[in-house]
Amino acid sequence: MGCVIGCDIGTQALKAVLWGEEGRILSTETSKFVVDYPHPAWAEQDPTQWWRAMVEVIPRLCQKAGVAPHSVVAIGVDGTVDGFVPVAEGGETLAPYILWMDRRAARECEYIASLINPKRLFNLTGLNLDASHTAAKMLWLRNHRPEVYKRAWKLMPSATYIVYKLTGECVLDHSNASSTMLFDVRAREWSVEMLGFLGIEPDLLPEVRRGIDIAGLLTSEAARALNLPAGIPVVVGCGDEHAACVGAGGIEPGIAVDILGTAEPVCMSAYGPAFDESQLVETHCHAHPERWLLENPGFVSGGNYRWFRDNFYVHIDSQDASYETLNREAARVSPGSDGLIFLPCMMGAMAPEWNDKARGVFFGLTLAHTRGHMARALLEGAAYALRSVIESMQRMGLTVHEIRAVGGGAKSDLLRQIRADVTGIPVTSLSVTETTGLGAALLAAVGVGLCSDLKEAVNCTIKVARVNEPNLGNKALYDQTYQNFLFLYRRLKECFERCPSAGLAVISRA
């Protein structure tokens, strides 16, 4: 029996999946990472953590399933988008990886706006002019770490770096490329116009191939480290939310995939490129080679819940128990949290609009509110942000008949029910909630011919486990509280402009 390995290089952990030919998941393994926050609104990671995690996890993955290493016939990789690590020729990393949530490049965005109209940029690349995107961070490196920029051979997204470690090949797929602000999303190639405007040398960028293409073969050095045979094909892979959509079966229109991780990307497949006039929803290439992906790249969501847990539930030692405690306390609070509203903008806003100056807010606190009210308000605030994205997709003419919740947060029945009640759309969960590594595995399965295409791979693997139907009584209440959420955000916009955080001041001087 042939098996494939899918590896997800996430924000907080590497999650690996061993997939068998009949669509069965044979084993899973996880190894955690550390994220560094050296300044307010900065977020970095040491990329050597990713390789150490691979070396730790992959041998365990096979041992746990009782699978001989020679049964592994392919490896697929996905990784966080909107970031890069500068790498010297020979493979030395020259600086930390700048994560998607990092906002240090605000000044660089002002410079880009002086060169190209943001509307033109959106029409060309499908992306908003925003500090989260890779091109702005590349300019920041050139401006503030010129010695590193000059030494760089390639600027690699996380998946590209791991594929390079595995094969010696420097490649990325269309989905990862379309997250850079340097890619012509219609033509599916690097934009000569954007590279020219920004003065970024094309040689710094990886070669673009399809996510299902074979990038190269596992080198002898990598094989020894991973306890696998040399010569195993490694596919190009894709971005993490793109892999999550594949692993969730979100390869056809109609299903919105809600990825409940540190951030909460909301995605939907489309047959061709479409553009949101409000620019809340961006246009990417899909990991599926014949689809596009319409998405909001992800407001911080699970990261807010983790922050709340770590700072207000410190007396509870067990991570699993502490989240369960949050959920139990939140479930005892009535829908609407007795008037308490949370704006999920702890690292800037991605919904209900893009605003890097926005910050998290609890509004309406009284002495009657408890810790449980705040926990529920966190869940409801994320659901309101989700609704704003779904409504933008609907205004684009898309039909959303199902929200498919995946990721760690999808395990919570309370979280899924709140989302169903707020949006009025059924929320389904799958037999496998961690679909990102699974998506990478399915790309690998197609790449080596175990499945004829992604549709076959999805059909033999993906099964719906539960459906949360909207509670119409709660929906009526949430219709009003959602309007209050939007009103609050709009009224606070001037405050965000007048009272910028210290973090943005640091960024502008760095």
- Would you kindly state where each structural domain of the chain is located, as residue ranges? 3-242, 250-434+471-504
Range in 85-94, 218-227, 428-437 with the lowest mean pLDDT: 428-437
The verdict on domain 250-434+471-504 having CATH code 3.30.420.40 is: yes
pLDDT value at residue 108 = 97
Instruction: Tell me the pLDDT band of 203, cut-offs 50, 70 and 90.
Output: very high
Instruction: Tell me the pLDDT band of 315, cut-offs 50, 70 and 90.
Output: low
Listed in sequence order, the residues at least 6 apart from 318 whose beta carbon sits closer than 8 Å to its beta carbon are none
Q: Residue 502 pLDDT > 80, yes or no? A: no
In eight-state DSSP terms, residue 70 is G
**Residues 25, 302, 440, 223: is their CA dihedral positive or negative?**
negative
Q: Do domains 3-242 and 250-434+471-504 have the same CATH topology?
A: yes
Q: Residue 337 pLDDT > 90, yes or no? A: yes
Instruction: Show the tokens assigned to 509.
Output: 């001087």
Q: What is the rounded CA–CA span in Å between residue 470 and residue 428?
A: 11
pLDDT value at residue 434 = 86
Hey, is 234 helix, strand or coil? strand
The overall average pLDDT reported for the chain is 93
The CATH class for the domain spanning 3-242 reads alpha beta
Q: DSSP for 154-197?
A: EEE-HHHHHHHHHHS--EEEHHHHTTTT-EETTTTEE-HHHHHH
Instruction: Show the tokens assigned to 389.
Output: 């994205």
Share of the chain above pLDDT 90, in %: 86
Q: Which one, of 258, 242, 167, lies nearest residue 206 by Cα?
A: 167
Query: pLDDT tens-digit profile of 166-193?
Result: 999 999 999 999 999 999 999 999 999 9
